[in-house]
Amino acid sequence: MEQLLRSFFLFLSRNRMLTKLAKKYGLQFGASRFVAGESVEHAVKVIKELNRNGLDVTLDYLGEFIDDEKEAEEVARHLIRAIEAISTSDVNSQLSLKLTSLGLDISEQAVMQNMKRILEAAEKHQVFVTIDMEDYSRCAKTLAIFKELKSRYDQVGTVLQAYLYRTVSDLEDLQPYKPNLRLVKGAYKESEKVAYPDKNDVDKNFKEIIKMHLLNGNYTAIATHDEKIIEYTKQLVSDHQVSKDLFEFQMLYGIRPELQLNLVREGYRMRVYVPYGTDWYGYFMRRLAERPANVAFVIKGIVKK
């Protein structure tokens, strides 16, 4: 049943007509539990509140289905405005972005040009930018672009996914760049030709890459809501006396907020991934697919109307 609901929400997340409708009618059905608002001004208010509670932020502008270079340039302009807003409002926030929203599927030249403009602004305002990792078909391209950008700009990092067989070798390959990496389990539906189908193998590989990256002395963001992985990391850093300045935990906005605050109280750096924008619908459906139990929030949202 859970599997069925998951597939259903993933199917809904890709529906273009529903995406358009959602844009027209604004944040609905309890989506504001996971999305900080439709404008950067709303998002800044949410960031301020999180910062007051000791939580750092990475801001994510939600964009889906880019069809041409003009739309990708528009997203880049928007992201530059978001960097400026972070800087002028003096909040503690980084930025996360997806290369597909900047033209990855259109042309390499387009995505590189957009990324360079964004990273010029990021360097100027000292706002760190993480390139999210998308599905397997984009992984090699994303890493190649990251390497090229990282050799020119400091304020950039990316993500590696524990479910992919290739990740340990990617991590080794990235070492010369001393990268700041976010490590995650992986969010996309991948073939077992490229990704571990068994959750236990994903967790084992996750622990392996956390250990490798941390003990190499590189900055590591452990992005998970899984308490077993969090406990593993705490033990690892304590055993190897890794400074708390060298790593952080990350979680999504609206998911396990108590656990987030507990980690802050224990003295760990905790960053919340805060999405905003009018294209909230696909993101919201993917969160429901991850955990169909969250559907209760949707039902409450509808009943409240």
Ligand X SMILES: Cc1cc2nc3c(=O)[nH]c(=O)nc-3n(C[C@H](O)[C@H](O)[C@H](O)COP(=O)(O)OP(=O)(O)OC[C@H]3O[C@@H](n4cnc5c(N)ncnc54)[C@H](O)[C@@H]3O)c2cc1C
The binding site for ligand X (CB under 6 A) comprises: 132-133, 159, 161, 182, 184-188, 223-226, 250-252, 255-256, 273, 287, 290-291, 294
83 vs 97 by CB, closer to ligand X: 97
Residue 224 beta carbon to ligand X: minimum distance, rounded to whole angstroms: 3
Residue 62: CB minimum distance to ligand X, A: 13
Residue 228: is it exposed, middle or buried by C-beta count within 10 angstroms (0-12/13-18/19+)?
exposed
Residue 132 is a catalytic residue? yes
Q: CB-wise, 24 or 193, nearer to ligand X? A: 193
Cβ proximity to ligand X, 44 vs 270, nearer residue: 270
Would you say 69 or 259 has its CB closer to ligand X? Answer: 259
Instruction: Out of 33, 56, 60, 132, pick the active-site residue.
Output: 132
Within its chain, how far is the Cα of 44 from the centroid? 17
For 13-41, give one letter per residue: b (16+ CB within 10 A) or e: beeeeebeebeeeebbbbbbbbbbbbebe
The DSSP string of 118-175 is: HHHHHHHHT--EEE----GGGHHHHHHHHHHHHTT-SSEEEEEETTBTTHHHHHHHHG
In whole angstroms, the minimum distance from the beta carbon of 68 to ligand X comes to 24
Degrees to nearest 5, angle at CA 225 with 97 and 300: 90
Task: Clarify whether 182 is annotated catalytic.
Answer: yes
Smallest distance, Å, CB 18 to ligand X?
A: 19
Catalytic residues: 132, 182
